Every structure is written in C-alpha cells, then in structure tokens.
Amino acid sequence: MNRLINNVHFSAIILIVLTLVSTLLAQSNSQTNLVAILVTLSVVIKGQQIVDVFMELKRAQAKWRWLLLSYAILVPTILAIIIYI
C-alpha cells in the first residue's frame, strides 16, 4: 500500500511538471516545430501515466491497457500529421 501511494505521488508530480512545462512552452511566442513536438510528447507521457498509475491498468488485461495507451499515442500523432503535412 505504501509503495502504491509513493507511485501515485511521483506520478502526480510528473503530471504537474509536464503541465507546467507545456503551459510555459505554449505561452512563449516561439511557434517552432520543436515546441509542438515537446507539447505532443508531454501529452503522450501524461496519457501513459494516467493509464498505468491512476487507472491502474498496468496489471489489467493487455488488450485494455494497449487500447488506451494507443489512444494517447495515436490522437496526437494524427493531429500532428494533419497540421504539419
């Protein structure tokens, strides 16, 4: 139980830091591809943290875990393709 609480706290810190970094990048007047890639990458990492830690799907059946993880990867990728190609 104590280990689970530590994992949740660590994951929450990761989510907060990634949100702050994404916000700072979005508010900077830099409109480069690097900023877009970093924000998209933070969305993927945040999705993975939410699926594995908060939804506790790390121990669930693989198909459900990968279904949700693929959503967190596919949606930002498709949006990036639509916007930049």
What's the pLDDT tens digit per position in 5-15? 688 889 999 99
Residue 28 to residue 3: CA distance in whole angstroms: 38
Per the structure, how many domains does the chain have?
1
Output the pTM of the full model. Answer: 0.78
Is residue 60 within 8 A of residue 49, CB to CB? The reply is: no
Determine the pLDDT at residue 3: 66
- The domain in which residue 8 lies consists of 2-84
Mean pLDDT score, 66-83: 85
**In this predicted model, which residue has the larger pLDDT, 84 or 11?**
11
pLDDT band at 29 (very low <50, low <70, confident <90, very high): confident
Determine the pLDDT at residue 49: 92
